[in-house]
Structure 1
Amino acid sequence: MLEVKALPLAELRRRSSEKWREYPEDVLPLFVAETDFPLAPAISATLQQALDIGDTGYIASRSPLAEAYTDFAQRRFGWTVDPSRLRSTADVSMGIVEILRRVTQPGERVIVTPPVYPPFYDLVAEAGAEVERVPLRDTGTRWELDLDGIRSAFAEGARAILLCNPHNPTGTVHERESLAALAELAEEFGAAVISDEIHAPLAQPGTGFTPFLAVNDAAQRVGFAVVSASKAFNLAGLKCALMVTADDATSSVVRGLPVEVEWRTGQFGLLASIAAFSEESDEWLDGLLRTLDENRLLLEDLLVTHLPGARYRIPDAGYLAWIDLSALEWGDNPARRILREGKVALHYGPAFGDEGRGHVRLNFGTSPEIITEAVERIAALVGR
């Protein structure tokens, strides 16, 4: 059984990425979605070989990337994907924008489901559309899509929905029945569903993750999925994502994108993604999932012990914790005080939408020691 452990803090501080350069060294950075683990061995070996032979040119017009992903999807999700219906681009955000530009007209409305990944609002605007907010429903035990609200928005003219599955920041894996109902609603109103599935490889075993395009025939007809190895394997800076379709009409939309959309894929991103999606990396990914499972449970224990006023639901997927600190009465954006006085950088809750007031997002894709110190620093602010 492969054990995947975070690198030591001193080594992490040698990194030059956003997580380790935004704040001074006295701050614990748990805000941006980067992880603190070493690369999967197959990825390191692939990139080293490319460096050794100077394989740093343009991406090839033909590569095994599509087949690598289809094999991965079959192994990990039981999802059969046609490799001829895949096309790469630089990242998930770019794929979303390019698809939105072709399924909506300027000024038309696109549904987002807050609290949600903050760039979604900007991506809709970049595509020339307008945001229609239909917040997730809080059942008291989990979050779910508000299908009645989505129906109303479609009925009033929304032309697409930007789905986050698994959902960021809550870590929710949307249930198959809910996704199937969403697909049928979209088809009824002639709308498109663009599903951001960047966190899919990080769904914990037993959560029942279902790719949107796999739920039913309607989903195949209305849906586009955008996937990447970047979150699970920490490859965001290498630039590679895949746009996936399952129907002739939707595939035609993606095939019709300018060739430059595909040429923006990074060569190192492509090579690293092939290695990540290979069977050789499965053991590493399984080890990562075990580590994240331990970390999400550790965080729960720490919050119960040190911050009993915090409300936290263990996420189904990923390494991001959505924590409600409203009871502490630290204002709409408690992350500001936590950064200023506790020297812990968390993602600002209100950035995810009005539903994020009083909340923070914490990245637990790190070591138990850093998670523990972060919670203890935050707890020390209580009563000050």
Structure 2
Amino acid sequence: MTKKYNFDEIVPREGTNCIKYDGREWIFKTNDVLPLWVADTDFRTPDFITEAIRKRAEHEIFGYTFKPESYFEAVIGWMKRRHNWEIKKEWISFSPGVVAGLTLAIETFSKPGDGVVVQPPVYFPFFDSVKGTKRKMIENPLKLQNGRYTFDFDDLKSKIDKNTKLLLLCNPQNPGGMVWTREELEELASICFENDIMVISDEIHSDLTYHQNHHIPFASLSEQAANNSIVCMAPSKTFNVAGLASSLIIIPSKIKMARYERALSVGHLGMGNIFGSVALEAAYSNGDNWLDQLLDYLWNNYIFLENFIKKHLPKVKVMKPEATYLVWLDFRKFGMNDEELMKFTIEKARVGLNNGGRFGTGGDGWLRLNIGCPQSVLKEGLERLAKAFNN
């Protein structure tokens, strides 16, 4: 009998050193906001993960460990079942987090002064990874067409040169929620291959796709794409285990894998932590049914949000997500700049959201809202927004 999970449950998170709730004073300068911002969910981590952690904790010795064969089998099985991607054990490496792996890859496969392409509006740690490693950031802004972002290939080709070494791809896209099509990805892959530009693909939201939208791992496009890319994934967004700091770096190229593993070993980063490995294996071994139920719940939350905004906030345009539990909202008709918009939502609506300007070019006047919460919490947040903006 299939177990039914309760995503309506309110799980108090205050007092757990939780950034989303306990960090409100630091982030928003007040605790009097309903936080619908940072990309973790308010859902209880599934029982098959917590039980696996408890079982391992019973041993009571937490010394040096390695990843067992079952760990790799779980990863390989998940990629085949969920993404129709057949990978090999020797392609699988580790990073404490996707951003950490992405940054390490920038340092490994380029040098200071080299060009790195980013495609804003996009997950803002990309900017820090490029600037912090003293690389040159090349902006290739996305185009907004028919309520959806698309790549601007003409702009990309006009800006790259012989010093452009890397492109950071957000796949699925954050904050817009696009699941890039095969045609979009193949054209991007072709441009990058022809210009000797390696693709680092952040695919942390890959499990969270809706209905007919199917995630295509960049390295699965072709042998050419596989040899010219690395893929960064993690169970953290899917199963709400970001605090366990365990991510996957998948590199089909033997040469690139050797270079990445060397950089990983220099920093003694490859071992990870015991409970992160246990959680990852449990998630990818047992998580299918739970994830299917989660996706149904999240989609119902999105439909609730869409209908609410149409009725109560008609000046706001909603970008319909093809993936992720993050919804990109266009508030530009209210005529506020980024700073004014954030100040208003915090002080008048008492809701904590992500300000669009942080996501770079094209983000001003937008807000990112997290629907990964019980619908009663989402309803409260939307009612606060409607009351404030309608007054």
TM-score range (shorter-chain normalised) is over 0.9
Residue 185 of structure 1: CA displacement? 1.1
Work out the CA distance in 2 between the residues paired with 1:181 and 1:288. Answer: 32
Structure 2: which amino acid aligns with 1:228?
A
Q: Tell me the amino acid that sits aligned with residue 276 of structure 1.
A: A
Bigger shift: 246-255 or 8-17? Answer: 8-17
Matched with 1:339 is 346
1:144-170 deviation digits (Å, cap 9, x = unpaired): 122222222333632110000001101
Match of 1:49 among 42, 46, 55: 55
Code of the aligned partner of 1:379: A
Cα deviation, 1:332-356, whole Å, max 9, x if unaligned, reads 2413210111110001110001311
- Superposition RMSD on alpha carbons, in Å? 1.8
The alpha-carbon deviation at position 203 of structure 1 amounts to: 1.4
- 1:110-259 equivalences under 5 Å are 110-155=116-161, 157-259=163-265
Q: Using the alignment, how far apart are the partners of 1:205 and 1:56 within structure 2? A: 41
**Is 1:369 equivalent to 2:369 in the alignment?**
no
Distance 1:269 1:372 in 2: 33
Counterpart Cα distance in 1 of 2:159 and 2:99: 23
Q: Structure 1: how far apart are the matches of 2:333 and 2:294? A: 33
Q: 2:385 aligns with which of 369, 378, 382?
A: 378
User: If the length of structure 2 is used for normalisation, what is the TM-score?
Assistant: 0.93
Match of 2:27 in 1: none
Looking at structure 2, the residues matched to 335 and 224 of structure 1 have their Cα atoms a distance apart, in angstroms, of 36
Q: Are 2:162 and 2:195, in contact at CA under 8 Å, matched by a contact in 1?
A: no
Is the contact made by 1:306 and 1:375 (CA closer than 8 Å) also made in structure 2?
A: no
Cα deviation 1:90-136 (Å, max 9, x = unaligned) = 01011101111121110111011111011110011233312111111
Q: Which amino acid aligns with 1:138?
A: L
Q: Hey, what's the Cα distance between the residues in 1 that align with 2:178 and 2:11? A: 33
* Alignment match, 1:5: 6
**Match in the other structure for 2:23:** 22
Matched, 1:263 2:270: yes
SS at match of 2:389: coil
Q: In the alignment, what sits opposite 1:90?
A: 96
Helix, strand or coil: the match of 2:167?
A: strand
Q: State the partner residue of 1:308.
A: 314
Measured after TM superposition, the shift of residue 7 of structure 1 is 5.8
- Distance, in Å, in 1 between the alignment partners of 2:74 and 2:166 is 29
Amino acid at match of 1:370: V
- Cα 1:295–1:37 change in 2 (3 A) is same
1:326 counterpart residue number: 332
Q: 1:227 to 1:54 in 2, by over 3 A?
A: same
How many residue pairs get aligned? The number is 383
Is the 8 Å Cα contact of residues 141 and 361 (structure 2) preserved in structure 1? no
Letter in 2 for 1:381: A
AA aligned to 2:128 is D
1:277 aligns with 2:278: no
- Residue 361 of structure 2 aligns with which residue? 354
Q: CA deviation at 1:313?
A: 1.8
State the Cα distance separating 1:58 from its structure 2 match. Answer: 3.2
Q: Distance in 1 between matches of 2:366 and 2:268?
A: 36
Displacement after TM superposition at 1:61 (Å): 5.6
- CA shift, 1:216, in A, is 1.6
Q: Which residue is equivalent to 1:291?
A: 297
Q: Structure 1 pair 243/220, CA: closer, same or farther in 2 (3 Å)?
A: same
1:54-93 equivalences under 5 Å are 54-60=60-66, 62=68, 64-93=70-99
Contact 2:205–2:237 (Cα < 8 Å) also in 1: yes
Query: Aligned-pair distance for 1:267?
Result: 1.8
Q: Following the alignment from structure 2 to structure 1, what is the Cα–Cα distance between the partners of residues 230 and 128? A: 19
Aligned equivalents of 1:240, 1:142: Cα separation in 2: 31
The 1:339/1:9 distance shift into structure 2, 3 A limit, reads: farther
Per-residue deviation, 1:261: 5.0
Gaps of 5+ in 1: none
Task: Give the secondary-structure state (helix, strand or coil) at the position aligned to 2:376.
Answer: helix
Q: What percentage of aligned pairs have identical amino acids?
A: 30
Contact persistence 1:292–1:365 (CA under 8 A): yes
Residue 64 of structure 1, CA deviation: 3.2
Question: Relative to 1, partners in 2 of residues 1:170 and 1:261: Cα closer, same or farther, differing over 3 Å?
Answer: farther
- 2: CA distance, partners of 1:383 / 1:62: 57
Counterpart code for 1:292: L
1:66–1:312 distance in 2 versus 1, CA, 3 Å: same
Q: Distance in 2 between matches of 1:267 and 1:322?
A: 36
How far residue 9 of structure 1 moved from its aligned partner, in angstroms, is: 4.2
Aligned mates of 2:377, 2:322 — CA distance in 1: 22
Q: Deviations over 1:21-40 (max 9, x none)?
A: 12255321111111011111
Q: 1:83 to 1:284 in 2, by over 3 A?
A: same
Which ranges of structure 2 fall in alignment gaps of 5 or more residues? 25-29
Amino acid at match of 1:335: M
Structure 2 residue identity aligned to 1:284: W
What TM-score comes out, normalization by structure 1 length? 0.95
**Paired residues of 1:98 and 1:127 also in contact (CA < 8 A):** no
